[in-house]
Amino acid sequence: METKEKIIKYLLWFFVCVVLVLGLLLLKTNSSLKNSEVKSETLVVEKNLVATSTETKGKVVEKLPTSVSTKCEFPSTDFDCYYNYYTKLVKEKGPKEAFIDLKKQYETSSYVRAQCHPLTHVIGRTTAMLYPNTTEAYKYGDPLCWSGFYHGVMETIVNEIGIEKIKSSLDNICDGIPGKEKYSFDYYNCVHGLGHGLMAITENELFDSLKYCDSLTGDWERSSCYGGVFMENVIVDNLSHFTKYLKPSEPLYPCNAVGGVYKTQCYLMQTSYMLKVTSYDFNKVFELCRNADLGFEATCFQSLGRDASGQSLSNADATWAKCSLGIGFDEQSNCIVGAVKDFISYYHSDNQANVLCAIVSPDLQKICLDTATSYYKTL
């Protein structure tokens, strides 16, 4: 099924998700805000993303501020303050008010923009504490910042089930999500979110988490779960937490070590880490992708395209400048495919993607526009 294949290949990603997925997914403010204070890191998987699923257990009920009206001192770069603030806000006023507040702060704070994905994780985790049924919690969802809310919900849900019962429960957790039969975006976020949750309860044991994903019924479900595992593996590598399943001296690891069934989802996430360990040198990462496992080079280039979009906050000129560093049609076209999908996922519109397609080299315009048209129909 064409729609299924497109969702599998996408991050929320982003990212990933690409996330991700991968991703992310999904809201942007006006264009002037997008072009301001552009950072030299790839959103969602940068080192400052300290609110990873390893912190889920118990933390949502700790360190709460005394009053929800106590906002973080502006401009603040204290993640714990924001963590506590949004946890309290969800508990006292609900997730809808938390998202309204977060969107307002997103417009004025570069730190909040950089931390938006993990902050939506916080809102999702806390919502699932209030509404421990997946279907009920998802009713309060918002795709802001690569669907972090849905990932956070699943972290709490999986944590509550526990490691002893999770294998026998996996197939049922997402049963009530609307659109399951049509592989809806909510259903994708649920199954992808299982991968995040599995990494939490296995304490970031990547291979164990993948084996749990294998317990799911359906190739599509398993693949979506793998994506959540690999996305979490990249996210967790930050200043506060490190994973043994990433190696600075071997940027393609673990993609070059996992079985073939896992490689697509791994490579769709891995370039964010590859950029980090090469000081965001796109030339070097293009070269690394050329050495990916045979048959997965194109996937790696598409992942890099997502990051070209993510790093520039989906600025068309900046994204094309990065994708144009690829050598030849195959590298550049796959980079553009990944970038276009990220543009559409982030904006929930194809207008900005069409701007990108208008400035790429003539030989790339058809695949750019075709990708934009087909991918936009899947959302």
Per-residue pLDDT at 5 exceeds 50: no
Per-residue pLDDT at 199 exceeds 70: yes
What is the average pLDDT score of the chain? 83
Structure confidence at residue 238 as a pLDDT band (50, 70, 90): low
Element (H, E) at 317: helix 316-323
Say if residue 158 is preceded by a cis peptide, omega within 30 of 0.
Answer: no
pLDDT confidence of residue 216: 97
Element (H, E) at 312: none
**Per-residue three-class SS string for 39-83:** CCCCCCCCCCCCCCHHHHHHHCCCCCCCCCCCCCCCCCCCHHHHH
Structure confidence at residue 12 as a pLDDT band (50, 70, 90): very low
pLDDT confidence of residue 8: 40
Degrees, nearest 5: CA angle 147-153-159: 140
Taking Cα atoms as reference points, which of 179, 273, 184, 192 lies closest to residue 227?
Answer: 192
Calculate mean pLDDT across residues 294-322: 96
pLDDT confidence of residue 289: 99
**8 A C-beta contact, residue 137 and residue 71:** no
Structure confidence at residue 257 as a pLDDT band (50, 70, 90): very high
pLDDT confidence of residue 145: 86
pLDDT confidence of residue 72: 82
Residue 238 gets the label, from left (phi > 0), alpha (psi -120 to 50) or beta, of beta
Tokens 């849905």 found at = 150
Per-residue pLDDT at 279 exceeds 80: yes
The neighbouring-strand residues paired with 160 are none
Report the percentage of the chain scoring pLDDT > 70.
80
Per-residue pLDDT at 239 exceeds 60: no
Calculate mean pLDDT across residues 93-115: 93
pLDDT confidence of residue 77: 85
Whole-structure pTM over 0.85, yes or no?
no
Per-residue pLDDT at 122 exceeds 80: yes
Calculate mean pLDDT across residues 280-306: 98
Helix (H, G, I), strand (E, B) or coil at 273: helix
pLDDT confidence of residue 55: 39
The neighbouring-strand residues paired with 336 are none
pLDDT confidence of residue 11: 37
pLDDT confidence of residue 46: 33
